[in-house]
């Protein structure tokens, strides 16, 4: 074939291919940002609840309220456990209130000092909160059985590990790798929030508590979700990162569509948790 004819055919095909690929990248980026915005909104509602309930009752000097909500609130003769709980709740406000700001590119690029300071605070807060959580779980217990204790403890271990890796790569100025570990850290730190959102989505979809006993808080669904609360979002994050960096254009469009569906489901769970768990208590 004449080379001029060949180029006149391949050029538009190539140009269309590039346009399709760029559109796929844009779609995935937009879907990711939308997911993140909905997640932040949901985490800030949870943060507001923690401030209003635990902060409000502390200011009023009415700490008995904690025991109405938690399986173990302020307990007589357990100063260490009480301090761990108070520290855990106070740091939860910082973690969920300020932590997500680390992932907003505009802030990262235009307020570097804030990013570094907030990042150090976030790392310290998640480490202390997780250790306090582990202490409470294994000295006071929580709802559910041993499997739930193990599930949330593994989350704490992953938080400590990912926090170390995110910090290590930030110090080494390996920013690409640092960002990946920071994203993974954000997901495992959000496990306790995913737990509530996922649980309420499940209850709404099934029109009631299915797959677990609401009295003992035990059953196959909770045995799965105590690990799923962080392993499922972590697997989705890995798929997202892989598709974004190495996926085909079709794969990116598919991932963007899947993210939109997941965001919709998460929105329903946030609505359920807000109306069923948080608003009624404050
Ligand atoms: C790092 C992210 C975490 C955040 C932001 C967080 C936040 C919270 C919040 C807001 C509460 C009050 C719950 C409510 O009023 O419904 C709470 C309670 C509690 N958290 Fe965490 N938490 C985190 C991680 C953990 C981990 C990793 C563990 C255990 C290893 C843990 C153990 C507990 C315990 C024992 C309670 C007392 C309530 C209960 O017994 O269920 N938390 N946490």
Ligand 1 proximity of 155 Cβ (cutoff 6 Å): yes
Question: Among 10-24, 88-102, 117-131, which is the least confidently predicted range?
Answer: 10-24
Which residues, other chains included, contact 2 with Cβ-Cβ below 8 Å and sequence gap of 6+?
Answer: none
Ligand 1 pocket member 133 (CB < 6 A): yes
For ligand 1, whether the C-beta of 96 sits within 6 Å is yes
Q: Does ligand 1 lie within 6 Å of residue 75's CB atom?
A: no
Q: Which of 64-78, 83-97, 157-171 has the lowest mean pLDDT?
A: 64-78
pLDDT in tens, 215-272: 999 999 999 999 999 999 999 999 999 999 999 999 999 999 999 999 999 999 999 9
50 pocket-lining for ligand 1 (C-beta < 6 Å): yes
Q: Is 28 in the pocket of ligand 1 (CB under 6 A)?
A: no
Q: Is 11 helix (H, G, I), strand (E, B) or coil?
A: helix
Compute the average pLDDT of residues 45-59: 97
Instruction: Work out which ligand 1 atom sits closest to the CA atom of 70.
Output: 38
Please state the rounded mean pLDDT for residues 191-207.
Answer: 98
Q: How far is CA 16 from CA 37, 117, 223, in A?
A: 31, 45, 49
Q: What is the model's pLDDT at position 256?
A: 98
Whether pLDDT at 1 is above 80: no
Distances (CA, A) of 114 to 34, 240, 243: 24, 27, 31
Give the pLDDT score at 20.
84
31 lines ligand 1 (CB under 6 A): no
Mean pLDDT of the chain: 95
Q: pLDDT band for position 60 (50/70/90)? A: very high
Q: Which atom of ligand 1 is nearest to the CA of 156?
A: 27
**136 C-alpha to ligand 1 centroid (Å):** 9
Q: Is pLDDT of 150 > 70?
A: yes
Task: Please report the atom of ligand 1 found closest to the CA of residue 91.
Answer: 5
For residue 5, what pLDDT is reported?
65
Provide the token pair at 85: 């709980």
Q: Say yes or no to pLDDT of 13 above 90.
A: no
User: How much distance in Å is there from the Cα of 85 to the middle of ligand 1?
Assistant: 8
Sorted by where each begins, the domain ranges of the chain are 25-281
């Amino acid at each position: 074939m004449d080379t001029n004819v060949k180029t006149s055919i391949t050029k538009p095909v190539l140009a269309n291919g590039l346009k399709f690929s760029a559109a796929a990248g844009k779609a995935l980026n937009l879907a990711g940002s939308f997911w993140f915005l909905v997640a932040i909104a949901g985490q800030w509602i949870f943060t507001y609840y923690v401030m209003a309930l635990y902060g409000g009752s502390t200011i009023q000097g009415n700490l008995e309220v904690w025991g109405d909500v938690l399986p173990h609130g302020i307990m007589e003769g357990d100063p260490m456990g009480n301090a761990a709980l108070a520290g855990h709740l106070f740091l939860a406000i910082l973690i969920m209130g300020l932590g997500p700001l680390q992932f907003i590119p505009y802030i990262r690029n235009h307020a570097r000092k804030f990013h570094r300071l907030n990042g150090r605070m976030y790392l310290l807060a998640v480490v202390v909160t997780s250790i306090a959580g582990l202490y409470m779980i294994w000295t006071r217990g929580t709802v559910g059985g041993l499997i739930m204790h193990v599930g949330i403890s593994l989350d704490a271990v992953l938080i400590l590990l990912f926090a170390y890796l995110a910090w290590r790569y930030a110090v080494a100025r390996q920013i690409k790798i640092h960002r990946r570990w920071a994203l993974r850290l954000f997901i495992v730190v959000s496990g306790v929030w995913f737990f509530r959102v996922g649980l309420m989505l499940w209850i709404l979809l099934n029109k009631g508590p299915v797959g677990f006993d609401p009295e003992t808080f035990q059953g196959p669904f909770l045995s799965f979700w105590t690990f799923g609360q962080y392993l499922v979002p972590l697997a989705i994050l890995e798929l997202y990162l892989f598709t974004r960096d190495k996926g085909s254009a079709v794969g990116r469009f598919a991932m963007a569509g899947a993210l939109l569906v997941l965001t919709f489901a998460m929105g329903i769970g946030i609505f359920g948790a807000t109306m069923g768990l948080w608003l009624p208590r404050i």
